[in-house]
Structure 1
Amino acid sequence: MKKFEREINRAFKKNTFLIAMAFPYLLGGCNTMEGVGTDIQKAGKALEESAERNKQSCPSCP
């Protein structure tokens, strides 16, 4: 039983270490995704403003 407990303990430590090493990259990914979302939002706003500026009036349009 002791050998099994040592193996479980070693696996737990290994997994904890791997999670601790991956954590900064995961946080960086969140910031990256937030930045991408902001960029897409700004591009959409610029497209909308451009469409408003270049809108042509037509007699049959409401």
Structure 2
Amino acid sequence: MKLKTMSAALLLTLPFWACAKDVTIIYTNDLHAHVEPYKVPWKADGKRDIGGWRISRRW
């Protein structure tokens, strides 16, 4: 009887232990297999890094 009561109490309190968590999904479609970022003259006057997996870590 005590085991049933303890089991019921445990099962009834399980939903209260659940916590909401934020999940961020970063969709990286158009990287073109560039591992390192690069500069191109026609984007941002060639001063800003474009693309690459390393720059995606900033998210």
TM-score (norm 2): 0.36
Higher helix fraction (1 or 2): 1
Q: Which structure would you say has the larger Rg?
A: 1
Larger RCO (CA within 8 A; separation ≥ 6): 2
